[in-house]
Amino acid sequence: MNALVPLPVLLPLCATGLSLAFGTRLKQLQRLISVAVLTAVLGLSVTLMIAADMRGPLTVHLGDFAPPLGITLVADRLSGLMLTVSSAVTLCVLVYSLGQGMADREEETPVAVFHPAYLILVAGVSCTFLAGDLVNLYVGFEIMLVASFVLLTLGGTGPRIRAGSTYVIISLFSSMLFLTAIAMTYAATGTANFAQLAGRLAGLPLGVQTLIQAMLLTVFAIKAAVFPLAAWLPDSYPTAPAPVTAVFAGLLTKVGVYCMLRTETLLFPGNRLGDLLMAAALASMVVGILGAVAQTDLKRLLSFTLISHIGYMVFGIGLATRDAYGGAIVYVAHHITVQTTLFLVAGLIERRSGTTELTRIGGLAKAAPLLAALFFVPAMNLAGIPPLSGFIGKLGLMRAGVADGGVWAWILVVGSAVTSLLTLYVTAKVWNLAFWRAAPPGQAATGTVLEADSDEDDDGDEGPDRIPGTGDEPVRPRHQPAGRAVAATLHGHAVTTTTKLPLPMTGATAATVALGLAFTVFAGPLTSYTDRAAAELIARAPYVQAVLGR
């Protein structure tokens, strides 16, 4: 069973090689490989989760080198759950991107690069979840980051380069900070292995411990987009293609949260920086949701709600009780799913109506009822309407806060209730503008161009004030008033447009919605599992024993 542990990292990496080898010549085969591998990873993750739950943490020392020399991979309950949720979500997003075919702007988005980069991203995420030492965690981060650089700047258009440069520089900086923290830890303790560090860090002077803890927290807070370190996120995510944004928003920030959870419990028990974490959590919640209130573009708005809801998980980590950790883990699983779904729906809306600017769309509830349902469920889930999983996560966290009873805990309980209400306001605003109100004239009937009879040279008649590659004005949407799949003319060329959404796109979105609902239906098993995971995190001994073998 232990031999299965490295596979979630190895399989996608091997598939990347195949994918690159086949390249663009055998597109179908490339797609088949990606889907098959991610399905296999999903199956493996479920197996690992169940095995870790039944037998305790599974460990592998690669090359059979004992720690601290070798690389250690560990799958315990927390990593098992994270792996399962992340691989389910990545599989859905992959199917979605196949349906989209990246066809919205084919010339700007080379598919041949998308598949290998996406697989490497999955490998990097799995590697961070399984890493049993700081160095391997760093390597996992870097694998993930380099793939995300490529995905974020896919096609290298003006806005993407502009948004990507901020992201790349911030990531570069946080990697340097991480490496410095690793150097400090190694100099102080002589190891980078989590299980050994758990024993050795406690013997260090308090100042050194706090310094290392603060540096690691800063690194992970940049990744997780906790408030004072979150300014890069709303500017860099929304310009990427919809599936890329969805998987980034769902997964990459949660990787930061996972690392915080892991290091705070295993390496630095005793919760010395709990108040600081709770203050940051409150600031993230409030600032993030107020930012979302002010936005009129759906993608930017969702980016701000993402920052806001990271605050809930940090709240759980700051409380540091068993119930709080359990609530935070439920919330991570819930939020990965729901945030990904919402970004996928944003992509569907963009496909359907040509834009995600809320002031320019309307009447979608009537024009596309299925789309409306696909938006409504995760939106309510995000706001935390009972009985959906968002409610369960928030309830768990608030109960833990009340049980803690401290001043900060109470402030956070009130803050999270207010944030929840404001989230409801934001989602209701989106619902009213995009779906419920009457369509603005000339909007309801627009669709995407399916085919054109000749190469479009629509650059000539755009007037002098349109500048190519602008970030300011939206790229001129290639759509035209039309009914369902009818021919029309665009700049003198006959084109066929459709308002139908491709089946894989809606299917994948529906699958993520169903996954979100499954958390509600199976809330009992889920919460008892997360409770056991939290107990394991707090106990520390099972992890340390599994790695060091005593």
- Candidates 110, 259, 89, 231; CA nearest to 167 is 231
CB of 72 to another protein, least distance (A): 13
Q: Which amino acid is at 484?
A: R
Q: Does 288 interact with another protein (rule: CB under 8 A)? A: no
Q: What are phi and psi of 498, to 5 degrees?
A: -140, 150
CB-nearer residue toward another protein: 14 or 146: 146
CB-nearer residue toward another protein: 78 or 145: 145
Do 344 and 241 contact (CB within 8 A), yes or no? no
CB-nearer residue toward another protein: 68 or 504: 68
The Cα-based distances of 216 to 31, 167, 183, 288 in angstroms read 38, 19, 12, 23
Q: Which residue has the tokens 């499954």?
A: 518
CB of 538 to another protein, least distance (A): 30
CB-nearer residue toward another protein: 99 or 124: 124
Q: Does 108 interact with another protein (rule: CB under 8 A)? A: no
In 363-468, which ranges are continuous DSSP H helix?
A: 364-367, 369-383, 389-404, 407-430
| Positions in 130-149 near another protein (CB under 8 A) | 135, 138-139, 142, 146, 149
CB of 114 to another protein, least distance (A): 16
Dihedral of alpha carbons 233, 237, 238, 243, sign: negative
- Candidates 397, 546, 548; CA nearest to 77 is 546
CB-nearer residue toward another protein: 418 or 467: 467
Size of the site for another protein (CB under 8 A): 42
CB-nearer residue toward another protein: 103 or 139: 139
Return the exposure string of 407-431: e unless at least 16 CB atoms fall within 10 Å of the residue's CB, then b: ebbeebbebbeebbebbbebbebbb
CB of 164 to another protein, least distance (A): 7
Structure-block tokens of residue 53: 């739950």
CB of 361 to another protein, least distance (A): 21
| Positions in 444-473 near another protein (CB under 8 A) | 464-465, 467, 469-473
| Positions in 31-70 near another protein (CB under 8 A) | 68-69
Q: What are phi and psi of 160, to 5 degrees?
A: -70, -40
| Positions in 168-227 near another protein (CB under 8 A) | 168-169, 172-173, 175-176, 179-180, 182-184, 186-187, 192
Return d(Cα 258, Cα 171) in angstroms, integer. Answer: 17
CB of 244 to another protein, least distance (A): 16
User: For another protein, which residue of 166, 321, 520, 545 counts as binding (CB under 8 A)?
Assistant: 166
Q: Give pairs for 432-437: CB < 8 Å, separation 24+.
A: 433/358, 433/359, 433/361, 433/362, 434/298, 434/349, 434/358, 434/361, 434/362, 434/364, 434/375, 435/362, 435/363, 435/364, 435/365, 435/372, 435/375, 435/376, 436/365, 437/362, 437/363
CB of 60 to another protein, least distance (A): 19
Dihedral of alpha carbons 295, 296, 299, 302, sign: positive
| Positions in 402-421 near another protein (CB under 8 A) | none
CB-nearer residue toward another protein: 162 or 429: 162
User: For another protein, which residue of 24, 165, 359, 432 counts as binding (CB under 8 A)?
Assistant: 165
Q: Does 357 interact with another protein (rule: CB under 8 A)? A: no
Name the residues that contact another protein, by CB under 8 A. Answer: 68-69, 135, 138-139, 142, 146, 149-150, 153, 156-158, 161-162, 164-166, 168-169, 172-173, 175-176, 179-180, 182-184, 186-187, 192, 231, 235, 464-465, 467, 469-473
